[in-house]
Structure formats: structure tokens, C-alpha cells
Amino acid sequence: MEREHFSRQFDNELNQIREKLLEMGGKVEVMIANAMKSLVERDTELAERTIAFDHEINTLEMVIDEKCLEVLARRQPAARDLRFITLALKIVTDLERIGDQCANICKRARELNQEPALKPYIDLPRMAQAASDMVKEALDAFVRGDDALAIKVCQDDQCVDELNEQIQRELLTFMMGDPKCISRAMKIIQVSKGLERIADHATNIAEMVIFMIKGKDIRHTIA
């Protein structure tokens, strides 16, 4: 009976970590959407609110880290449970960095909103949506233990990389044609690179999910 009680408590603690990770992931997805909305709709107030919101992501990172370390110390988990907790510790780091990237995008949006628009934002919203979908699917793969979905996330990173390259080529053409637009173009390039990094963090999470499920490190092996 005591062993069963211990097991139930341990399961509850793992579920709490899982739920907090999903909460953090959901808030990061909102940040990605709001960061892009603040740029496309030239909403500087939303940019400011999103920058301030990053504090909530940082707080959740500390809460989850503390819970994971507490479970490691008290339960001394082994095998799959140990992989789950160590993965959770790594996932929160990637999610926190995604929050930082969103805040940085908002800072560039705040600056760009002060100037005339260089060009319509068409590919950046597509890139942001693709990166956000990757974050969501990486976390879904983690919760469901779905290695096929995790592999899909790793493969989807190529689409975001291609959009980033396309945006940079277009902006280089703008800068060569009119040196006066260099400052604005460079800020847009920073936004694009920020979105690419968000997709890279989602890929990191997906690769770690595959490791949790299969015990196999597939970093640098997905085509």
C-alpha cells in the first residue's frame, strides 16, 4: 500500500511538471503571435506589453526548474522517468529563450513602427506561424510521447530556414537599391533571424523528445 501511495505521488509530481511545461509553452505561443501582430499592425503598445510579458516566462522557468530538481533529489528516478525530468529541464531553457527572442522581435517592431514601412510584411507572418506550429507540435510530441510528430517538427525546420533565406535575399536587394533603407532592412533581418532561432529551439525540443522516447540522440542526423 505504501509503495502504491509513493507511486501515485510520484505520478502526480510528474504530471505537475508536464502541466507547467504546457502552460509555459502556451504562453510562448501567445508571445510569438503578439510579437508578429505588433509588427504587422504597427501596434507599439502591444510590443511593450509583450516585452513585459517575458517576465512571466522567466518566472515559470524558475518554478519548473525548482520542481524538477526537487523531484530528482527526493525520488531519485531512473530510466524513462529520469529522461523525462532531465528533458523537462532542457525544454524550459529552450522555451525561455523563445520568450527572449519574442521580446527582441518586439523591440525591433517598436523601432520599425516609428518609421515608414519598407515593404508589406508577407513572408514574416508565414514564418512566425510556421515557427509557432513547430513549438506547439514539439510540445504535443513531448506530452503524447509521439516520436513521429517530433521527427516532423525537425523536418519542418527546413521550411523556416528557406523563408529566412528568401527574406534576407529580398532585403539585400532593397539595401543595394537604396542605402537609405539599410537601417530598416537590417531591423527586419533581425526579426527574421529571431523567428529562425525560435524554430531552432522547437527543433531542439523535438530532438530531445525523440531521445526521451527512443533513448537515441538524433541531433544533426535529420535530413
Let me know if residue 221 belongs to a domain: no
Domain that holds residue 138: 2-214
Let me know if residue 131 belongs to a domain: yes
Let me know if residue 150 belongs to a domain: yes
Let me know if residue 222 belongs to a domain: no
Let me know if residue 116 belongs to a domain: yes
Does residue 80 have a pLDDT over 90?
Answer: no
Residues 104-150 have pLDDT tens digits of 999 999 999 999 988 889 999 999 999 999 999 999 999 888 999 99
Output the domain CATH number for residue 44: 1.20.58.220
Write the single-letter amino acid at 155: Q
pTM, 2 dp:
0.90
Classify the phi-psi angles of 145: left when phi > 0, otherwise alpha if psi is within -120 to 50, otherwise beta.
left
Let me know if residue 151 belongs to a domain: yes
DSSP one-letter string for 55-71: HHHHHHHHHHHHHHHHH
Look at the chain and report how many structural domains it folds into.
Answer: 1
Average the pLDDT over 163-167 and give the result: 96
Classify the phi-psi angles of 79: left when phi > 0, otherwise alpha if psi is within -120 to 50, otherwise beta.
left
Residues 182-208 have pLDDT tens digits of 999 999 999 999 999 999 999 999 999
